[in-house]
Amino acid sequence: MAAASIRLFNTMTMQKETLEPAVPGKLGVYVCGPTVYSYVHIGNARTFTSFDVVVRYLRYRGFEVKYVRNYTDVDDKIIKAAHETGEEPVALAARFVEAFREDARALHLLEPDVSPKVSDHLAEIIGIIGKLVDKGLAYESKGDVYFSVRHYPEYAKLSKRNLDDLCAGERVQPGEQKHEPLDFALWKAAKPGEPAWDSPWGKGRPGWHIECSAMSAKYLGETFDIHGGGLDLIFPHHENEIAQSEGASGKTFSRYWMHCGFLDLEGAKMSKSLGNVVRLRDALTKVDPEALRFFFVGTHYRHPLNFADKGLADAEQRMEYFYETLRKVDERVSGKDFGKGPLYGEPHKHLTEFESQMDDDFNTAGALGALSGLFAQMNELTDKPPVKDKAQVGRTLQALREDVRKVSGVLGLFEDEPAQWLLRRRDRAVKERGIDVAKVESLIQARNEARKAKNFAEGDRLREELKGMGVEILDTAAGTVWKVAPQ
Ligand code: AMP
Ligand code: ZN
């Protein structure tokens, strides 16, 4: 497919702009990854899912994307957590990198092309700090190295903060070696019990922000296309990345900036420091991963999203409707040949609408509207076909099913076999509601026997009995299937 015209909201200019790659057809994307001192929560997962969909869509639209997402495995929080557990900080970080990988796979997140870690990039980090010192943009102070914000006039251009206002609220704290309050650490002198590496300024470790400047330059070049993260990273993290990278290279760092809104719990940003977190792995014991993705993409990535159990339950119910439709359509048309000929109506209009919503700053919420249209049309064609020509209906359903596959690759939804997905959903509901499966199955068998014997009154009575247990039955071409009724 030819590269299309995509507009995205650039936090730097605060406007929607047409995405034009520096190298035609190619895009470098860097997303700030997790700080691996604990399990990720579903707020983190929202941001990572948003960029997962962005990368999937850019590829769908024909761009060759190189996707880099780092691991912050050297950090104050990691050192503190390691002191608490008695582990080595590097070992604790490695453990949570593995946990993150498991969680990311469970949520069907694409594996980035490169997932660099700070601890593997000390040479690059030291190199860029050296450049900043040589250029007079950074200074050494008692084994620490700081970026000198006063020497970088463009500071705060992303967050549009006023330097005087910023200065007013800051003081150099006792024990800090910096000259001015806004200066930030590029390198921290070693302290006992902390991981440390050799450098021209003595043993120490990098500050937080410098890693992204060093690793993005290594894998994507000094200038690359899209930089992403959650809103909280705009200041100071991304501001500091810009100062370091543009200060060292003299070139534009990222050409477009994208930021994902917060996932809130009861009105407050979900964050480890507030303690109001739901771990992704805990959420995934209760809700299907695709339903969680569906919940995330139901809101535009820049808007806040309020987390509530009801929202997840609704998402899973909607996914059930989608999968039931797919099961029915597959039963009807999968592997069949309906010959060549015209299709009914304009079957691809939903996919075209989906694309135009996604082209508009990755408007997944709008795109889901197009998806609903696609499923409504599949249901209409299977349940009450508006035309008599069965081959035409079959061909049209096959064309719509193909469009679902395209959407599915972009959103990371409907990647499962419908019957399998529905069975898993049913198993979860059965456990939650304490339904006796053996009893359900024997009642269904009794009902089928009653119907065979033309005892329809008994058949209806058994259906009611099942209903009373919270079970709905459906007679399909492949036999009777059942599901747990919504509460
Ligand atoms: P951290 O591991 O804290 O550096 O966070 C990893 C990513 O998750 C960053 O891009 C954060 O901006 C993002 N993030 C953290 N909390 C939330 C939240 N409540 N909602 C959305 N994104 C978040
Ligand atoms: Zn970063």
Ligand minimally distant from the alpha carbon of residue 68: 2
439 within some domain = yes
Q: Are residues 154 and 96 in the same domain?
A: yes
Sign of the dihedral defined by the CA atoms of residues 285, 286, 291, 296, in that order: negative
Q: In this structure, which amino acid lies at residue 371?
A: L
Domain end position, chosen among 365, 387, 418: 418
Centre of ligand 1 from the C-alpha of residue 402, in Å: 35
Q: What angle do CA 147, 150, 219 make, to 5 degrees?
A: 40
pLDDT in tens, the chain (487 residues): 444 699 999 999 999 999 999 999 999 999 999 999 999 999 999 999 999 999 999 999 999 999 999 999 999 999 999 999 999 999 999 999 999 999 999 999 999 999 999 999 999 999 999 999 999 999 999 999 999 999 999 999 999 998 888 887 788 887 789 999 999 999 999 999 899 999 999 999 999 999 999 999 999 999 999 999 999 999 999 999 999 999 999 999 999 999 999 999 988 999 988 889 999 999 999 999 999 999 999 999 999 999 998 999 999 999 999 999 999 999 999 999 999 999 999 999 999 999 999 999 999 999 999 999 999 999 999 999 999 999 999 999 999 999 999 999 999 999 999 999 999 999 999 998 999 999 999 999 999 999 999 999 999 999 999 999 999 998 887 788 899 998 7
Centre of ligand 2 from the C-alpha of residue 321, in Å: 39
The residue among 354, 360, 357, 268 whose CA lies nearest residue 305 is 268
Q: Are residues 336 and 245 in the same domain?
A: no
**Residue 346: CB partners within 8 Å, gap ≥ 6?**
none
Query: Looking at ligand 1, which residue's alpha carbon is closest to its atom 15?
Result: 44
Tokens 């608490």: give the residue: 84
Tokens, residue 184 = 């930030």
428 within some domain = no
pLDDT at residue 4, as a whole number? 65
**Residue 164: CB partners within 8 Å, gap ≥ 6?**
none
32 within some domain = yes
Tokens 């200038």: give the residue: 223
352 within some domain = yes
Centre of ligand 1 from the C-alpha of residue 348, in Å: 37
Q: Are residues 248 and 387 in the same domain?
A: no
290 within some domain = no
Residues near ligand 1 (Cβ within 6 A): 32, 34-35, 43-44, 46-47, 229-230, 232-233, 260, 262-263, 269-271
Q: Are residues 461 and 410 in the same domain?
A: no
How far is it, in rounded angstroms, from Cα 88 to Cα 416?
40
Centre of ligand 2 from the C-alpha of residue 136, in Å: 23
How many residues in the chain? 487
pLDDT digits (tens, 9 = 90+) for 380-430: 999 999 999 999 999 999 999 999 999 999 999 999 999 999 999 999 999
How far is it, in rounded angstroms, from Cα 237 to Cα 159?
10
**Residue 40: CB partners within 8 Å, gap ≥ 6?**
34, 48, 100, 103, 279, 280
423 within some domain = no
Ligand minimally distant from the alpha carbon of residue 214: 2
Give the Å distances, CA to CA, from 225 to 14, 17, 229. Answer: 16, 13, 14
pLDDT at residue 2, as a whole number? 46
Ligand minimally distant from the alpha carbon of residue 40: 1
Centre of ligand 2 from the C-alpha of residue 344, in Å: 50
Centre of ligand 2 from the C-alpha of residue 238, in Å: 6
The residue among 373, 365, 359, 358 whose CA lies nearest residue 404 is 373
214 within some domain = yes
How far is it, in rounded angstroms, from Cα 289 to Cα 108?
7
DSSP-assigned letters across all residues of 240-280: HHHHHHHHHHSS-SEEEEEEEPPEEETTEE--TTTT---BH
**Residue 119: CB partners within 8 Å, gap ≥ 6?**
73, 74, 90, 93, 195
Ligand minimally distant from the alpha carbon of residue 230: 1
| Best mutation site among 37, 38, 40, 44 for ligand 1 pocket (most ligand atoms within 8 Å of CB) | 44
Query: Looking at ligand 1, which residue's alpha carbon is closest to its atom 14?
Result: 44
Q: In this structure, which amino acid lies at residue 91?
A: A
The side-by-side arrangement of strands in the sheet containing 138-141 is 138-141, 144-147, 184-189, 204-206
Q: Are residues 313 and 379 in the same domain?
A: yes
Global pTM value: 0.95
The parent domain of residue 374 ranges over 309-418
Which residues does residue 204 pair with via DSSP β-bridges, in sequence order? 189, 197
Tokens, residue 261 = 């809104």
Query: Looking at ligand 1, which residue's alpha carbon is closest to its atom 18?
Result: 43
How far is it, in rounded angstroms, from Cα 30 to Cα 307?
27
Domain end position, chosen among 248, 269, 285: 285
**Residue 384: CB partners within 8 Å, gap ≥ 6?**
none
The side-by-side arrangement of strands in the sheet containing 305-307 is 268-269, 263-265, 305-307
The residue among 117, 99, 101 whose CA lies nearest residue 109 is 101
Upstream peptide bond of 236 is cis (omega within 30 degrees of 0): yes
Q: Are residues 245 and 315 in the same domain?
A: no
Query: Looking at ligand 1, which residue's alpha carbon is closest to its atom 7?
Result: 44
pLDDT digits (tens, 9 = 90+) for 363-377: 999 999 999 999 999
Ligand 1 atom nearest 261 alpha carbon: 21
- Reduced to 3 states (helix: H, G, I; strand: E, B; else coil), residue 97 is helix
| Best mutation site among 29, 32, 40, 47 for ligand 1 pocket (most ligand atoms within 8 Å of CB) | 47
Which residues does residue 417 pair with via DSSP β-bridges, in sequence order? none
Q: Are residues 335 and 195 in the same domain?
A: no
How far is it, in rounded angstroms, from Cα 21 to Cα 431?
50
303 within some domain = no
Name the packing angle between helices 289-297 and 364-383 (round to 10°): 120
How far is it, in rounded angstroms, from Cα 423 to Cα 437?
12
Is 29:59 a contact under the CB 8 Å cutoff?
no
pLDDT at residue 1, as a whole number? 45
pLDDT digits (tens, 9 = 90+) for 39-48: 999 999 999 9
Ligand 1 atom nearest 31 alpha carbon: 10
pLDDT at residue 487, as a whole number? 79
Q: What's the CATH number where 409 sits?
A: 1.20.120.640
Ligand minimally distant from the alpha carbon of residue 34: 1
Q: Are residues 334 and 228 in the same domain?
A: no
Centre of ligand 2 from the C-alpha of residue 420, in Å: 39
> Based on the structure, what is the number of domains in the chain?
3
If one counts every other C-beta atom within 10 angstroms of the C-beta of residue 466, the result is 20
Tokens, residue 251 = 């070139």
Centre of ligand 2 from the C-alpha of residue 199, in Å: 22
Domain end position, chosen among 372, 387, 418: 418
Is 43:271 a contact under the CB 8 Å cutoff?
yes
Q: Are residues 141 and 252 in the same domain?
A: yes
Q: Are residues 27 and 155 in the same domain?
A: yes
pLDDT at residue 171, as a whole number? 81
Q: Are residues 53 and 172 in the same domain?
A: yes
Q: Are residues 95 and 132 in the same domain?
A: yes
Q: What angle do CA 191, 194, 197 make, to 5 degrees?
A: 90
